[in-house]
Structure 1
Amino acid sequence: MINAHGLTRLDAGVKVAAVLLFVVDPSNQRSIPLEQIMDAYGRTHAEARVALASSSGNTTIGTAQSLGLSSNTIKTHLRRVFAKTATGRQAELAELIAALVTVRIGDMGPRD
């Protein structure tokens, strides 16, 4: 049976499954313009810097050291970022940042 999307589906009692896989080099996330991160969820410049640094796997202390801020400042910014993005963990935040990378790459194609 062919569905509306032109895909073949086997009706052998198997549930339909789908997988979407993003492969992103975490070390390349720093190439995202901060303005893009700020625009995506209404973040401030400081929140965008913290979100980007935290999404690449840094601990709170590592993020604080790399940005020259205190751990408490990082925690405050992360709480605000989590609230604005409806996330609760750095891993979820990293997924959002990875999605921004993907959108940015996808938007670089030819325009009509």
Structure 2
Amino acid sequence: GKSVVGGVSRIDVRPDGSGCDTVWESAIRSPSVVPKLSAGNGLLYFYEKEPNSWGIDAWYLTAVDFRTGERRWRQLTGTGPLYDNNWAPITLGPDGTAYVGVFNGIVAVRDAG
């Protein structure tokens, strides 16, 4: 399907309030979800969309290190429009499972590590 230009950034406000600094930038495409931060493990969770030449988007749950912006892991959840989350949030369960509502139902992914 059609996609958007990727890009997420971490911007920190200076402690003295004198301005902001870019800590890191990433080309991750996460067009339709607000990222969720786990204070317990320091990971930011994104629902990432990766277009391909056939026009069938692949959808991934992606975990990024909040401190460095480095991708820690990425799990394919499905392909095509039925895996679009249509602005549904990411919900983190107490056992570390990440849930995302999609047109096809609910996706649940848990980091084994």
The structure having more radius of gyration, on CA atoms, is 1
Q: TM-score normalised to the size of structure 1?
A: 0.23
Higher strand share: 2
- TM-score, length basis structure 2: 0.23
Q: Which has the higher contact order (CA 8 A, sep 6+)?
A: 1
